Structure 1
Amino acid sequence: MATVTLDRPAHAVSARGSAVTGTGRLLRFMLRRDRIRFPAWILGLTLLMTYFATALETLVKSPADLEGLTAFSGSPAGALFSGRGFGFDDLTIERFLAGQYGLYVAIGAGLMGLLTVVRHTRAEERSGRAELIRANVVGRHAQLTAALTLATAMAVLVALLIGAMMISRGYDAGGSLLFGASVGAVALTFAGIATVTVQLSEYPRAASGAAGAVLGAAFMLRGLGDMAAVQGSGPAWLSWLSPIGWSQQTAPYVHDRWWPLAISVAFTAAAAGVGYALSVRRDFGAGLVPPRLGSPRAAAWLASPLALAFRLHRASLIGWSMSLLVAGLAYGSFTQPLLDGFADAPEDLIAVMGGSENLLAGFLGTLGLTMALAVGVYAVLAVQTLRAEEAEGRAESVLATAVSRPAWVASHVAVAALGVPWLLLVAGVGMGVGAAVSTGDEGLFGQLVLGHVAHTPAVWLVLAAATVLYAALPRVLPAIWGVLAYGLIVGFFAPILDIPDTAVRLSPFEHIGEYPLVDISLVAVVVLTVLAAAVAQAAVATFRRRDLAGGA
């Protein structure tokens, strides 16, 4: 029998041996998958900064109005929540935008970078799609390289668009480009951090959570360092330990320092190098940190769809509870300094708080609305858990048992619905304790707890609306974020932007009342609760009629 030898072309051999072979094809595939997410992130962050600029220009009608903003912004409390504010001794609109609002756009950019890397690496391994891709002529590092390239492209585009937007408003070109670059640098840095966290755990949520925890720690380190810098004593150097702090230290429109961004780039390169090194030390689909072994026998109380739903949502509830309690204590503790800072603020800004005569009550009501919107984020993410369970095939396994479709959906919605008043209560307790200690008025505790919990029906309606979108058209579920964004805009800026009352009342958060500034409407509580129950029931009925992993 003759032996036939098939010679492969030399370029095929070298291609198969390259660790980054197929990166270009994978990048095009990722762009195809993110054809909606890609522009949504970039344009969303740019439009957010555009909105901040437009709102501030509407608010500030004279140099005296601009000077009034420095009372709070230049205080230690202002430094904690926004930054130390370079150049506030000679304040301009662009300096205030970069010093106060730039932080929150940068945080959004950081989330964009880390979520993009996790989505296209660890999530792909977990779903099994990466295994099919790796069965082809694809290098070991191709997927991570393509994900990093995509995140870098998003960071660069965000930097350019924000810089161009600021230039178009007549601000200094050099400072505008630097400000845009500082936002993009945060996205790049946390994309690098995500390359490390995706190697540690085999679960996408754990990888995202670890990178998100670093983002939270960066915010706190920067805040403590900036507070010390404003006070003139303490560990001001803590700001230099934060990737967010590196971007803020560029001081756009004041010092225009580009060199701190070199720290961001160097850190990203180092983090990516660590990520690549760790990736070769683990098995495909596994994490360097092994999962904790569970009990060989399930507890009796787990033998129901409601118990399973609680088990799946438990970690999220614990994390949100701790975060909201800490945030409530932090914001509540600065009640008195915040009120002092608003003493010389512009009239339009005071109008947002209910006017000078009701400044304390208006501020407390605003805190309740803020936490209600935050818990609304939890509600939407809880519904997205349903989508993930279905997309990853676990829902099909559960529904193959005696569990019915209505029971499966209703169990998850019930757990999330019970979590809403609990989280609002936790936030209210934290706010109440902080505010009572800050002002010395113990009566604020009860007012804040009641004012927070009263928003429960509004968040329930958001939860029900998200569920009906998931049940009918899962791909349209991200549209529910528009409801929260709209609630944020009308809740905080309706008096400034002269939004008509009819348009304001389209938000579910504008009916119950921001207690103690406005008395709680029991009629609105009942109507919103009944409406939320009806929409949730419609969602359960709709889910019964569609195929899994599809839409109606």
Structure 2
Amino acid sequence: MPVTTHGTPMPAPPPAGAGTSGEHPATPDPASGATARVRRGHSGAPARTPARGRRPLAGLGTLLRLMLRRDRIRLTVWVLGAGLLGFYFAHAIQTIAEDEEQLRSLAGLYADPIGRMMVGPGFGMDAPTHARFYAAGYALFLYILVALMSIFTVVRHTRAEEQTGRAELLRAGPVGRHATLAAALLLVTAANLGAAALIAAGALTAGYETEGSLLVAATSAAVGLLFAGAASVTAQLSESSRRASAMAGGLLGLAYLIRMGGDSAEVGGSALSWASPLGWSQQTAPYVDDLWWPLALLGGGAVLLALLGFLLSTRRDVGASLLPARLGRAEARPVLGTPLGLAARTLAGGLRGWGIALVLAALMFGAYAQSMVDAADSLPEEMAQIFAGEDLMRGYLAYIALFMGVFVAAAGVGALQQMRGEEVRGRAEYGLSVPVSRTTWLGAHLTVIAGGLLLILALVGAAMGVGAGLSLEVDGWSHFRDLFLAGLLQAPAVLAAVGIVAALLGWLPRLAGAVGWVLVGFGGVMSTFGSLLDLPEAAQDLNLFGHLAEYPVEEVEWAPVLWLLAIAALGMLLGILGWHRREVGRV
């Protein structure tokens, strides 16, 4: 019988047992009079019917075009940078060492255990040519650069997209499960092939043998693809793009450390060298043996890692990760309730990574001091011009302190870009929603960056002193104090670079990152090869690091120190003023 409520007839309840499968009884369609059944979920809302038969790679072409559009500038810079660096390496050695006698004197630097530990197993250094020197001394750094390009690109288009929520929006459309990762890998493959083509062109224009030049180029692409596969795996393991990049970068660093141990044991590498993908890349021995088969190890590893990435992507939800995020404390430490503590928590990871890498590099470069002493009398004049002073060993150590200062400035630019990322992603606005002024927020971040960079400089100077003390046979530890101070004396130039970028962050945030990296790159090139380029004095004055005395070879001049510190203070002040006036989150 129908039930009435306030005189309105109501439909009778369904018979017992009806609707137990989640399907509601038939209801009339007012438009057609037909009867329709609506399938509903547990919550009573209409359940979404899964797209049956959607292909795993559906939308691949569209996603690839989108990635190309987004990375048209970024990836072009990476590819051109790798090509130009390869061109420079291939031609520079012909300028530094013009004849076989000079080549033999330089070959000794790469043939001893410390040299092999830095650059590779030293194939062909018993009978060096320009091509062999290029492959033995410089090719490894091209491989590492292409590997970093691949890691950052894959993580940017996979895990970073999930982290921001854009991947979920795309997956709501006709996009297959594997389309995003496949498009990212295709993009990286194209970038690696482009970089390899430019690297090959650079070696061929230097007049090097065709087979060896093509082998160097192919190896760079194979290394890049291997670490692209590694990044596709780490993107599934971590829910943070930064952590995914750090994990893949950590694998690259581990491969380098294993290779160091294997190559330093004997010329040509030892069994330990074969435990590292970077060791595989150098066992091709371009211009000496020209072995192609080690590329099968790199290519096979790239395919296996990519397949593992696809497999792991099916084991998790969009936005989730296979490794659970570490649970935080039930209650935050009191220091996190302060602007300085929060800034330190945000920036510590990046500064820590830079610090560890630079300290290890400084230790290794310091340990190379004895090799410079042994080769001092036979080095070409062009090589000696890079180092200041008459004492070549002290000039080398002063140059290393300057060179490491440039990299510390790069760490500062990276930290400022991370701070800019906090603003773009909206987290800075959350921080400013509490009773914290803009000046306090930005000032806290700049304080942490400046303090972290000063600490890194001190540790780098100490590491150089320890390396030199352990390697030098005569009065090694007497140089520790000088090298420690040499590291700290790069602080004015480093802080001046930070101040300039901070000023741009306040007023022209779009240009800040690009200008910062230009400052660092120009400083590195001019500090290393400025004496050989014979550029106008006005161009040389643009190098922030060129104004400081090369201590301990030269006495400290305090006027440039004060000027650079003034630039740093003024830049930070202008940055705070601009940040206070402009809209937060402006891109």
CA contact (8 A) 1:490 1:499 kept: no
- 2:142 aligned with 1:108: no
Q: Does 1:75 align with 2:131?
A: no
Would you say the 8 A contact 1:16–1:137 is kept in 2? no
Q: Specify the alignment match of 1:254 in structure 2.
A: 288
Shift of 1:4: 8.0
Conserved 8 A contact 2:90-2:202: no
Cα contact 1:178–1:256 (8 A) shared by 2: yes
2:96 and 2:353 map into 1 onto residues whose CA distance is 36
User: Structure 1's 15 and 340: CA in aligned 2 closer, same or farther, altered over 3 A?
Assistant: farther
Map of 1:165 onto structure 2:
202
**Which residue identity is paired with 2:187?**
L
Pairs within 5 Å for 1:314-333: 314-333=348-367
Q: Find 1:358's aligned residue among 373, 384, 391.
A: 391
Deviates more, 1:448-457 or 1:478-487: 478-487
- Of 150-159 and 84-93, deviating more is 84-93
Cα distance in 2 for partners of 1:124, 1:311 equals: 24
Question: Against the structure 1 CA distance between its residues 92 and 14, is the aligned structure 2 distance closer, same or farther, given a 3 Å change threshold?
Answer: farther
**Runs of 4+ in structure 1 over 6 Å off:** none
Distance 1:250 1:15 in 2: 48
Query: Within 2, Cα distance between the matches of 1:65 and 1:341?
Result: 11
> Which of 412, 422, 426 matches 2:459?
426
Q: Give the letter for the 1:445 counterpart.
A: F
User: What is the distance in 1 between the residues matched to 2:137 and 2:53?
Assistant: 50
Deviations along 1:414-451, one digit per CA (max 9) or x if unpaired, are 10011111100011111112212222432211000100
State the SS of the aligned residue for 2:138: helix
Mapped to 2, the partners of 1:121 and 1:489 lie a distance apart of: 34
After TM superposition, the structure 1 = structure 2 runs for residues 21-40 of structure 1, keeping only pairs within 5 Å, are: 21-40=58-77
Alignment of 1:84-483 (within 5 A): 84-230=121-267, 236-354=270-388, 357-439=390-472, 440-476=475-511, 477-483=513-519
Q: Give the alignment partner of residue 47 of structure 1, picking from 65, 76, 84.
A: 84
For residues 79-127 of structure 1, the C-alpha deviation after alignment (integer angstroms, 9 at most, x for no partner) is 1111123222222111111111111111111100100001001111111
Q: 1:530 aligns to what?
A: 566
Deviation track 1:293-351 (CA, whole Å, cap 9, x = no partner) reads: 11222222222222110111222333333333333322222321232134422111012
Task: State the 1:226 CA deviation.
Answer: 1.4
- 1:72–1:342 Cα contact (<8 Å) kept: no
Residue 20 of structure 2: aligned partner: none
8 Å CA contact 2:363, 2:466 repeated in 1:
yes
Does residue 1:492 correspond to 2:524, yes or no? Answer: no
For 2:470 and 2:203, the matched residues in 1 are separated by 41
Q: Which residue of 2 aligns with 1:519?
A: 555
- Please report how far the alpha carbon of residue 15 of structure 1 lies from its aligned counterpart in structure 2 after TM superposition: 8.6
Between 1 and 2, higher relative CO (CA 8 Å, sep ≥ 6) is seen in: 1
Q: Secondary structure at the match of 1:88?
A: coil
| Paired residue type of 1:23 | L
Q: Which residue of 1 aligns with 2:586?
A: 550
Cα distance in 1 for residues equivalent to 2:465 and 2:335: 35
Structure 2: which amino acid aligns with 1:176?
Answer: S
CA shift for structure 1 position 522: 1.3
CA distance in 1, matches of 2:288, 2:120: 14
Give the alignment's Cα RMSD to 1 decimal. Answer: 2.0
Partner amino acid, structure 2, of 1:367: I
Contact 1:118 1:208 in 2 (8 A): yes
Q: How many residues align?
A: 542
* Structure 1: stretches of 5+ with no match in the other structure: 6-12
- 2: CA distance, partners of 1:538 / 1:378: 21
Which structure carries more helix by proportion?
1
Secondary structure at 2:378's aligned position in 1? coil
2:523·2:545 contact (CA, 8 Å) conserved in 1? Answer: yes
Amino acid paired to 2:502: T
**8 Å Cα contact 2:146/2:223 also seen in 1:** yes
Q: 2:439–2:576: 8 Å Cα contact kept in structure 1? A: yes
With over 3 angstroms needed to count, the CA separation of the structure-2 counterparts of 1:214 and 1:87, relative to structure 1, is same
Listed one character per residue, the Cα deviations across residues 230-271 of structure 1 (whole Å, up to 9, x for unaligned) are 2x8xx8112222222222111222222111111111000101
AA aligned opposite 1:275: G
8 Å Cα contact 1:59-1:496 kept in structure 2: no
Separation of aligned partners in 2, 1:3 and 1:167: 76
Whether the aligned pair in 1 keeps the contact of 2:256 and 2:276 (CA below 8 Å) is yes
Give the secondary structure class of the aligned counterpart of 1:530: helix
What is the CA–CA distance in structure 1 between the aligned matches of 2:219 and 2:585, rounded to whole Å?
40
Displacement of 1:380 in angstroms is 0.8
Range with greater deviation from structure 2 (105-114 or 56-65): 56-65
Q: Equivalent residue of 1:17, what SS?
A: coil
1:381, 1:425 → 2: CA distance?
19
Q: Is the 8 A contact 2:363 2:467 kept in 1?
A: yes
Relative to structure 1, the CA distance from residue 197 to residue 343 in structure 2 (aligned partners, 3 Å threshold; closer, same or farther) is farther
| 1:455, distance to aligned residue in structure 2 (A) | 0.6
Give 1:60's aligned residue.
Answer: 97
Greater shift, 486-495 or 36-45, is seen at: 486-495
Are the structure 2 counterparts of residues 244 and 15 from structure 1 closer, same or farther at C-alpha, using a change threshold of 3 Å?
A: farther
Q: Paired residue for 2:26?
A: none
Unaligned runs of 5+ residues in structure 2 are 1-32, 38-49
CA contact (8 A) 1:243 1:264 kept: yes
Taking a change above 3 Å as real, the CA distance of residues 344 and 16 of structure 1, as seen in their structure-2 partners, is: farther
Q: CA deviation at 1:16?
A: 5.5
Query: After superposition, what is the alpha-carbon deviation per residue over 1:120-178, rounded to whole angstroms, capped at 9, x for unaligned?
Result: 01111111111111111111111111111111111111111111222223222222111
Instruction: Tell me how far apart the structure 2 counterparts of residues 54 and 540 of structure 1 sit (CA, whole Å).
Output: 44
**Aligned equivalents of 2:165, 2:355: Cα separation in 1:** 33
Letter in 2 for 1:405: R
Q: TM-score, normalised by structure 2?
A: 0.89
Over alpha carbons, which structure has the higher Rg? 2
Separation in 2 of the partners of 1:238 and 1:54? 32
Distance 1:428 1:409 in 2: 29
Report what 1:9 is aligned to. none
Quick one: distance in 1 between partners of 2:359 and 2:84? 31
The answer to whether the 8 Å contact 1:106/1:186 transfers is yes
Deviation (angstroms), 1:3: 5.6
What percent identity do the matched residue pairs reach? Answer: 42
**What is the letter of the counterpart of residue 374 of structure 2?**
D
